[in-house]
Copies of this chain bind each other. A is one copy, B any other.
Amino acid sequence: MDVNRPSSHSPSPESGSGGSPGSGSTDPFAGSDQHTAISEVGEFGLIAHMRDVLGEPDDASVVSGISDDAAVYRIDERGRVHLATSDALLEGIHFDRTFMPMEHLGFKALSVNVSDIVAMNATPRYAIITLGIPQQMSVEMVGTLYEGVKQACEAYDISVVGGDTTGARGLQVNATVIGEANEEDVVYRQGARVGDKVCVTGDVGASYAGLKVLVANRKQMQEAGDDFQPNLDPFSYVIRRHLAPPAQLKAIQDWAEAGVRPNSMIDISDGVASEAHHISEASGVGMQLYEPALPISVETRNTATEFGEDVSVYALFGGEDYELLFTLPESKVDDLDPQSFSVIGEVTDLDDPAERVMFQQADGENVPLQPGGFDHFDEEAE
């Protein structure tokens, strides 16, 4: 396979590549008379610029600011920290209201935030929900969305402590989740060590497979009208993974019981390739990944076959799996339940930044992997 071939859903590998505007171009952040397109710097470039403008927090209680999945700040002198993260799901960008059930939307809005807290090895506690609601929505639909929020609260044992609503042009759910941990237990993107095994929980690529099915199904329905009788049963797993992905809270709870703490961790929101680059860049290490080791469900494989596409592209660049990508000393690998994760590679020395993450394909060829992944500035949800 050509792992760096952009698929219809994956942006080109050049985009979203960590915020460095093309070499030779004028610094887009310098002047105010210029007009530099957002797509030139990408989402990560904008975040990096925010960090540059604001500088490091001069509050000694802040352990980690704009650089990881969640902020970390001390709440007492006895080693306890809180973690906070905020993410929004916007209609037309992150979801399509024609096939996103309101209940799942409410659930997912919390999941994606809980996932960020879990990815720092912390326990989610509180949530704040802010809804933007277009006028044509009904009160009953909003009530169904709340039911999904409630299911997430029960699944993750968190409390919604704040809520607000406002009018909006498109439906949106903004959620903030606050978590708790001992400072020494927090796991960051940085911390991967040469020799660590690169691991992933569950399976990857399913969410993207589910999106493919839903988009194709909507298209068929639009073309065939009332005559169309969809059979989505063979795709129920991948569809559910897209619409209502669970955060991997149970995994970190099991590890805590087993006394295992990963050296580095991130959740898979943008695809394995993008997240591997984040850990690699934050930790100053390289990575070697193996195609045959990628955990991919049968249903995800069947979906890719159905669409005549390469399932590894789904796994590497699809995103929205909300599984955990983490690195672990080899000696700890046997301490974890082997059913709960897969070893997909190892952490290496970083000799050449152009070969930051290497990917050994099923045919044996070893190629540099580009971050790729979803960049919401490049594409809107179909």
Within 8 A of B (CB), among A16-59: 28-29, 31-41, 43, 45-47, 49-51, 53-54, 57-59
In the complex, which of the residues A40, A80, A93 has the most CB atoms of chain B within 10 Å of its own CB atom?
A93
**A126, B58: Cα distance in complex, Å:** 11
Inter-chain contact A150/B88, CB cutoff 8 Å: no
Inter-chain contact A76/B75, CB cutoff 8 Å: yes
Q: Which residues of B contact A66 (CB under 8 A)?
A: 160-163
Q: At the interface, yes or no: A92 with Cβ under 8 Å from chain B?
A: yes
**A356, B339: Cα distance in complex, Å:** 63
Interface range on chain A (Cβ under 8 Å from partner): 35 or more
**A72, B35: Cα distance in complex, Å:** 43
Query: Which of B50, B85, B165, B169 contacts A46 (CB under 8 A)?
Result: B165
Please name the residue on chain B nearest to A42 by beta carbon. B165
Main secondary structure, interface of A, reads: mixed
Inter-chain contact A166/B57, CB cutoff 8 Å: no
**Chain A 97-140 interface 0/1 with B at a Cβ cutoff of 8 Å (1 = within):** 00000000000000000000000000001101111110101111
| B-contacting 9-mer, from A170-178, A324-332, A346-354 | A170-178
**A71, B161: Cα distance in complex, Å:** 5
Q: At the interface, yes or no: A380 with Cβ under 8 Å from chain B?
A: yes
Q: How far is the CB of A106 from chain B (nearest CB, A)?
A: 10
Question: 6 tightest CB-CB pairs across the interface, nearest first?
Answer: A57-B159, A71-B161, A167-B376, A71-B162, A53-B146, A36-B139
